[in-house]
Amino acid sequence: MGFSRCILLFLLLLHFSFADDATRNDASVRPKSPSCSMEFVSVKVKNWVNGVEGETVVGLTASFGAPVPSQETEALRLPAVMADPFSCCSKSSSKLSNSIALSMRGDCDFTVKAQVAQSGGAAGLLVINNEEDIFRMECSENDTSLEIKIPVVAIPKSEGDIMQKSIGSGRKVELLLYSPKRPVVDFAVVFLWLMAVGTLICACLWADFVACKQTDNYNQLEPPLSGTNSEENTENEVVDINAKGAVIFVIAASAFLLVLYFLMSAWFIWVLIVMFCIGGSQGMLACVVALILRMCRGCGRKTIKLPFLGDVSLLSCFVFPFCVAFAIFWAANQNASYAWIGQDILGISLMINVLQLARLPNIKVASVLLCCAFCYDIFWVFISPLIFHESVMIAVARGDNSGGAAIPMLLRIPRFFDPWGGYDMIGFGDILFPGLLVSFSYRYDKANKKGVLSGYFLWLVFGYGFGLFITYLGLYLMDGHGQPALLYLVPCTLGLTVILGCVRGELKDLWNYGDEPSSNRSDKA
Bridge partners of 59? Answer: 43
Residue pair 293/214 in contact (Cβ under 8 Å)? The answer is: yes
Bridge partners of 414? Answer: 423
Cα 416 from Cα 86, distance rounded (Å) = 39
377 catalytic, yes or no?
yes
Per annotation, catalytic residue among 20, 377, 424, 445? 377
Cα 424 from Cα 20, distance rounded (Å) = 7
Bridge partners of 53? Answer: 48
Give the closest residue to 347 by CA, choosing from 415, 423, 407, 418: 407
Cα 43 from Cα 363, distance rounded (Å) = 50
Residue pair 57/155 in contact (Cβ under 8 Å)? The answer is: yes
Bridge partners of 127? Answer: 103, 154
In DSSP notation, 334-378 reads: TTSTTHHHHHHHHHHHHHHHHHHHEE--SHHHHHHHHHHHHHHHH
Total number of residues shown for the chain: 525
**Would you say the C-alpha torsion 395, 404, 193, 287 has a positive or negative sign?**
negative
In DSSP notation, 69-132 reads: PSSGGGS--EEEEE-SSTT--S--SS--TTSEEEEES-SS-HHHHHHHHHHTT-SEEEEE-SSS
Per annotation, catalytic residue among 20, 21, 424, 430? 430
Give the closest residue to 253 by CA, choosing from 347, 374, 385: 374
Residue pair 176/91 in contact (Cβ under 8 Å)? The answer is: no
Residues 6 or more apart in contact with residue 422 via CB below 8 angstroms: 21, 22, 23, 24, 25, 414, 415
Interior/surface letters 442-475, b for 16+ CB within 10 angstroms, e for the rest: bbbbeeeebeeeebbbbbbbebbbebbbbbbebb
Residue pair 305/317 in contact (Cβ under 8 Å)? The answer is: no
Q: Label residue 151 left, alpha or beta by phi (over 0 means left) and psi (-120 to 50 means alpha).
A: beta
Cα 139 from Cα 146, distance rounded (Å) = 9
Cα 488 from Cα 491, distance rounded (Å) = 6
State the CB neighbour count (10 A cutoff) for residue 329.
13
Interior/surface letters 133-164, b for 16+ CB within 10 angstroms, e for the rest: ebbbbbbeeebeebebebbbbbbbbebbebbb
Cα 40 from Cα 166, distance rounded (Å) = 28
Q: Catalytic residue positions?
A: 377, 430
